[in-house]
Amino acid sequence: MDIITVKNLTKQYEAYHRGQDAKSVFKSLFHREKSIITSVEDLSFSVGKGEIIGILGPNGAGKSTTIKMLTGVLYPTSGEINVLGYNPHKQKNQYVKQIGVLFGQKSQLIWDIPPLDSFYMNKEIYDIPTNDFRTRLDRFVSMFEIGDIITKPTRTLSLGERMKCEFIMAMLHSPPVVFLDEPTIGLDVIAKQRIREFIKQMNQEGTTFILTTHDLEDVERLVQRVLIIHQGKKVYDDKFSELRLHLGAKKMVRLSAATTIGDIDLPGTLISERISDYEVELEIDTDQCKMGEFLHILSEKVEILDISIKEIQIEKIISSIYEMDIG
């Protein structure tokens, strides 16, 4: 059952710009050139209950703008949004009680006082019953193992510790839908792992997550479905497991040879990186050239010292999608 439905969502806004020379700067005091920017264009998608979907895209693609419209922070220029039966900007106060939001680069914690004080403030704002609040708080603090830091001023905490507290802020009122805008940005490997485990745990208990991220490990480890936005438009919307197959069955081959490796003229084969005269990285489209056939022909052309075969990296697939704009 879909709990989020987005239809033909568009967001446009005015932007001012000027030239770099002194004349342009002075002229901008009286008149500024204005242009209309379309940050999201005719976007449609839906999210089912209990899904974790990842919204990907290059910088400026419209990911955060989409999240802001879904959370009611921005008004769409046109289109419809329905989340849990609510229109985010027409029924704001009732709607935001049902959602949790975490902005990776914007803090909900009060800088000078301990996170615990901020949690109590959220308790009043969301009108959380005291027993429920204490039970949830104790549980989340235990899951993140941050019992000893929530009474220290926020400004003394590390980024990872602060982010764990931000998650608690977003989840204290037990929202069925949580929006995460770059939740692991700037975190170390251990902190990221903890946060991913937390998201998985909450998802198993029924919480739906929509996250935007540039960290493709977040995508590989967490999301079930991927929505790719490029220049404000949807270019891919399908299961993560289908992503690799979407551009054909490609493999990456790293080859070391005893002799100079020249051009390899085989269908479906591309030298993606020439590391040295004796070592290359190749991209093989196994739909066009079976691996066995490739290895047989290669061994006739060069004396192979070492070879490794891997799945094509997710970064390459997504870069290709950005470049090819496959719908």
Binding piece for another protein, criterion CB under 8 A, among 19-27, 89-97, 186-194, 235-243: 89-97
The Cβ of residue 45 has, within 10 Å, a number of other Cβ atoms equal to 19
Q: Is 240 in the site for another protein (CB under 8 A)?
A: no
By beta-carbon proximity to another protein, the closer residue of 101 and 195 is 101
> In the set 3, 4, 39, 195, which binds another protein (CB under 8 A)?
39
CA dist 55 and 236 (Å) reads 10
Binding residue (CB under 8 A) for another protein from 68, 162, 194, 225: 68
Stretch that binds another protein, among 28-36, 117-125, 183-191, 261-269 (CB under 8 A): 117-125
Least Cβ distance, residue 318 to another protein (angstroms) = 25
Angstrom distance (rounded) from CA 110 to CA 86 = 29
How wide is the angle at C-alpha 296 spanned by C-alphas 290 and 300, nearest 5°?
140
Task: Restricting to residues 290-319, name those near another protein by CB under 8 A.
Answer: none
4 lies in the site for another protein, by CB under 8 A: no
At 224, the amino acid letter reads Q
Three-state helix/strand/coil letters over 4-61: EEEEEEEEEEEEEECCCCHHHHHHCCCCCEEEEEEEEEEEEEEEECCCEEEEECCCCC
Q: Judged by CB under 8 A, does residue 269 bind another protein?
A: no
| Residue 118 in the binding site for another protein (CB under 8 A) | yes
Work out which of 86, 103, 133, 198 binds another protein, going by CB under 8 A.
103
Site residue total, another protein (CB under 8 A):
38
**Do residues 223 and 52 lie in contact, with contact meaning Cβ atoms separated by under 8 Å?**
yes
| Interface characters, 150-189, with another protein (x: CB under 8 A) | ---x------------------------------------
Minimum CB separation of residue 213 from another protein in Å reads 18
Q: Using the rule CB under 8 A, is 34 a contact of another protein?
A: no
Distance CA 55, CA 116 (A): 31
State which residue, 29 or 189, has the beta carbon closest to another protein.
Answer: 29
Distance CA 21, CA 25 (A): 6
Distances in whole angstroms, Cα of residue 124 to Cα of each of 20, 128, 249, 262? 49, 7, 53, 69
Q: Does 278 bind another protein (CB under 8 A)?
A: no
Among residues 65, 56, 67, the alpha carbon closest in space to that of 319 is found at 56
Q: Which residues bind another protein (CB under 8 A)?
A: 11, 13-14, 37, 39, 65, 68, 71-75, 89, 92-94, 96-97, 99, 101, 103, 106-108, 110-113, 117-118, 120-121, 123-127, 153
